[in-house]
A = this chain, B = another copy of it.
């Protein structure tokens, strides 16, 4: 299957299904239905069935989904059976929080390097890491083959750092800086700007 053939909006829902299924699994549940899963994630049962049908037949009429099996399948589809190394660039408050974040465990990711360009921060210990100089970013990332980065630098520096990440071979950037990034084809960016998230909701408030 060509990965581009499945609409990205469907891909965006798969991690949410996976997260909810893992939670059910941790609670000891063995099977679920599209109705139950849908109620848990706020998505209709029909949408869930349609989304999953893009990738195969995962449920059985009458018995629903085997949770452990569907978790395995979704991890395969999302490519998180393996553990991906991730770098964090920008050791302000947000970068610190991500470098120490426990929530990547069991989700397919681990932070392995952190960078900053501030001489006062370079060499500092953050969680398990020693902050490295952003000047080393291209060689360090290229040598280690890392392809994922989380970007927590100020907006004014974000494009410049992005260019370095792209040069180093990074293919996916989770961007916390409140600015749109220009990247070449083949490099993905997801945006996690809190103000943007809030503004999307205040539209509906009086």
Contact = CB atoms under 8 A, between A and B. Distances in A.
Interface of A: 3, 11-12, 14-16, 18-20, 23, 40-42, 77-80, 84, 86, 92-94, 96-98, 100-101, 103-104, 107-109, 147-148, 150, 155, 171-172, 174, 178-180, 182, 188, 190-206
A87 to B, nearest CB: 12
A202 B96 contact: no
Given A11-B200, A200-B12, A178 B103 contact: yes
B14 A203 contact: yes
A41 B204 contact: no
B203 A98 contact: no
Contact of A100 (B77, B93, B195): B93
Contact of A194 (B77, B79, B174, B197): B174
A97 B101 CA distance: 12
Contact of A103 (B108, B195, B199, B203): B195
Given A77-B203, A96-B93, A204-B3, A193 B148 contact: no
Nearest to A174: B197
A174 B19 CA distance: 18
